């Protein structure tokens, strides 16, 4: 079962494989690590330079000061996320926050953290850094409660099943004790010969179902986190597409060097292969806004590749209609019901940056080399327009939210912007000098 928004107690079940020399067999022994805030401008002044040290045990993140690691920003939920040691790694869990937990641009419910991961808690960006992969942080022992909702049971102990049974039986007994029985009182005052004996009707308790699943996990070994949650229609589809998008990002988004036209066309075809069923599922579940968000992300991933492709083919103007199409999509009626209005505003700002970048590409294609000897020169009207475009790019680049999108969710387009900043804008300035 996969958790969605909501609360639920968790039991972690594991099998402790024997370890070699110098290797910890404790599944909750994890490397010392840190979450380094990449942009503290949104935080309370007291939290400038925020670094969250992950030194073992459970860490809770959120706006409320009673968290182990508060993040004082209005866009962070009171109880936003939990980071726990699991399987020798650090695992993060969204606690039903409004603005989500994002890893490499994908909204995650549960995920293992990988060194170097870019993470957003709401709109606050962090990078996960492991300080020493050999030194391990102290961790709770077998059978010890690691917080008020989680209990770890290691798999190398024969009493695991009994422990689970006792936990569930105790919970049932507490429920029974909380319900005063009027019938029991009446029965005590009536002679037993007049009381009709009834066999209790068999009931399948939800706790017994959980017990069965947990026992299966024990037999099979490994680790599992099981919660009973409710979610909107299309929840399974959201998780499937999130995994596919993450797989795509890992394979292509951080690739260095120049992309050939063939590479770009292959990647665009892969994105379109995901977009088609995603769009169908978004129509099937119109109330699931996460599917809509994923549509926006995939369409932008396609757009940034089209910007590069058409620029390399010397047809940057062909990108304009695609930008306008995506602008219309993020301004449509469905966006009014989306809680993340700030995110949509950021995406519109990013698309405004795309428009300006495409305009610069068109100018450079038309006037590639600034020179007084050139017979083909831009008009004064052109230069006035490009002055405004250059100013827009500089202004949008200074926007913190757009910078986060470029560095965390769409690093490929970030490379395009860097190239424009380092090559194209100086060329425009040189043209200005030539024409004076």
CA distance readout (Å), 283 to 5, 277, 303, 333: 22, 10, 22, 14
Mean pLDDT score of the chain = 74
User: Kind of pairing, strands 59-62 and 89-94?
Assistant: unpaired
> Which helix (H) or strand (E) element contains residue 311?
helix 289-312
Mean pLDDT of 271-283: 93
The yes-or-no verdict on residue 276 having pLDDT over 90 is yes
The span from the CA of 23 to the CA of 16, in Å, is 12
Residue 222: left if φ>0, alpha if ψ -120 to 50, beta else—which one? left
pTM here is 0.53
Mean pLDDT of 270-294: 90
Mean pLDDT of 282-296: 87
Give residue-wise pLDDT tens across range 340-359: 677 788 899 999 999 999 99
Helix (H/G/I), strand (E/B), else coil: 94: strand
The span from the CA of 12 to the CA of 152, in Å, is 5
pLDDT level of residue 256 (50, 70, 90 thresholds): low
pLDDT level of residue 386 (50, 70, 90 thresholds): very high
Burial class of residue 366 in the structure, from the number of CB atoms within 10 Å of its CB (0-12 exposed, 13-18 middle, 19+ buried) = exposed
The span from the CA of 105 to the CA of 247, in Å, is 12
pLDDT level of residue 411 (50, 70, 90 thresholds): confident
The yes-or-no verdict on residue 2 having pLDDT over 60 is no
Q: What's the confidence (pLDDT) of residue 66?
A: 92
């Amino acid at each position: 079962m996969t958790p969605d928004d909501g609360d639920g107690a968790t039991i972690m079940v594991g099998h402790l494989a024997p370890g070699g020399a110098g290797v910890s067999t404790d599944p909750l022994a994890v490397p010392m690590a840190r979450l380094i805030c990449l942009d503290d401008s949104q935080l309370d002044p007291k939290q400038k330079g925020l670094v969250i040290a992950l030194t073992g045990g459970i860490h809770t993140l959120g706006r409320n000061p009673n968290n182990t690691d508060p993040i004082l920003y209005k866009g962070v939920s009171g109880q936003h996320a939990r980071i726990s040691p699991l399987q020798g790694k650090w695992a993060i869990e969204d606690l039903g926050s409004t603005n989500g937990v994002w890893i490499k641009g994908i909204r995650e419910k549960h995920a293992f953290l990988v060194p170097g991961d870019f993470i957003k808690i709401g709109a606050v960006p962090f990078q996960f850094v492991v300080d020493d992969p050999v030194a391990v942080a102290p961790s709770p022992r077998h059978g010890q409660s690691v917080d008020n909702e989680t209990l770890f049971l290691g798999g190398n102990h024969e009493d695991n099943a009994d422990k689970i049974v006792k936990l569930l039986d105790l919970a049932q007994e507490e429920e029974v004790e909380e319900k005063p029985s009027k019938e029991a009182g009446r029965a005590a005052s009536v002679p037993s010969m007049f009381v009709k004996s009834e066999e209790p009707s068999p009931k399948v308790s939800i706790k017994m179902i959980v017990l069965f699943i947990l026992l299966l996990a024990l037999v099979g070994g490994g680790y599992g986190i099981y919660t009973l949650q409710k979610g909107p229609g299309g929840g399974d589809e959201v998780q499937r597409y999130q995994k596919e998008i993450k797989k795509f990002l890992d394979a292509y988004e951080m690739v260095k060097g120049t992309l050939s036209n063939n590479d770009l066309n292959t990647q665009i075809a892969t994105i379109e292969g995901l977009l088609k069923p995603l769009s169908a599922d978004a129509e099937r579940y119109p109330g699931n806004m996460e599917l809509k968000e994923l549509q926006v992300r995939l369409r932008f991933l396609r757009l940034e590749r089209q910007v590069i492709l058409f620029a390399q083919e010397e047809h940057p103007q062909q990108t304009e209609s695609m930008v306008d199409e995506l602008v219309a999509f993020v301004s449509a009626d469905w966006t009014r019901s989306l809680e993340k209005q700030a995110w949509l505003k950021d995406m519109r700002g990013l698309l405004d940056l795309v428009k300006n970048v495409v305009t610069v590409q068109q100018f450079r294609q038309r006037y590639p080399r600034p020179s007084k000897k050139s017979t083909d020169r831009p008009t004064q009207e052109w230069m006035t327009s490009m002055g405004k475009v250059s100013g827009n790019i500089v202004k949008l680049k200074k926007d913190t939210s757009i910078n986060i999108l470029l560095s965390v969710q769409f690093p490929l387009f970030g490379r395009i912007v860097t190239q424009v900043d380092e090559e194209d804008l100086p060329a425009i300035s040189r043209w200005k000098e030539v024409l004076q």
